[in-house]
Amino acid sequence: MLQKLQQELDLLPDNFIVSVITPSLNYKDVNMHMLEYFVNKKQHSGVYVSVNRPFLNVIQTLEARNIDHSSIFFIDCITKKLGGDSIKKSNVHFLDSPQNLTDLGIILHESTTSKGDGKKKFVYIDSLSTLCIHNNMETMQKFIHYLTGKIRLWGINGVMLSLHEDMDPKLLSELSQFCDKIIHLR
């Protein structure tokens, strides 16, 4: 399955938007494989929107897999919602809740358009499925339309990971309109 994912990613053009739909059992491996692809293999810098796991847990997982996270800016949507402490670091912003899509859009804009390191950039959302748990479908459709439009304007790559079991047909329909490719992993 990871080999199929690798082949699909290698075939994508520059400045693509892709949605990857994976079974929940493979979520962690697929998630880390894609980050390794963008950061270690492609040498891109990016913005990682963490909806499933707190920032510190993501960092530990990246370090355990030897994935360089020094060129990633993190937007943690879950730590504060769970009552965890937000730490002061220059490479992370803690949102109050995954329901706060307006603030998420603002932080994404600021972090992707700020002067960077000259590397190709990406935006990575670790779970549209989880965002759907916290937001209604109409709000999610508007957000996806906004986000994919912005990613195209910024001239960067976009990746949205979703769980196969939680994939809403309406959301899939929206994704197919705005993404260059939908990769179904089984």
> Of the spans 81-95, 143-157, 167-181, which averages the highest pLDDT?
143-157
pLDDT greater than 90 at residue 65: yes
* Digit-coded pLDDT (tens) for 81-139: 988 888 888 899 999 999 999 999 999 999 998 766 778 999 999 989 899 999 998 99
| Sequential DSSP letters for 12-68 | --SS-EEEEEE-GGGHHHHHHHHHIIIIIIS--EEEEEESSS-HHHHHHHHHHTT--
Please answer whether residues 44 and 121 qualify as being in contact, where contact means their C-beta atoms are separated by less than 8 angstroms: yes
Hey, what amino acid is at 83? Answer: G
User: CA geometry: angle at 63 spanning 125 and 44, to 5°?
Assistant: 50
Buried b (16+ CB within 10 A) or exposed e, 142-151: ebbeebbebb
Residue 115: per-residue pLDDT: 67
Nearest CA to 47 out of 117, 97, 96 is that of 117
Residue 78: per-residue pLDDT: 93
Hey, what amino acid is at 184? Answer: H
Domains and CATH numbers, the chain: 17-184 (3.40.50.300)
Tokens 């603002």 sit at which residue?
106
Q: What is the mean pLDDT of the chain?
A: 91
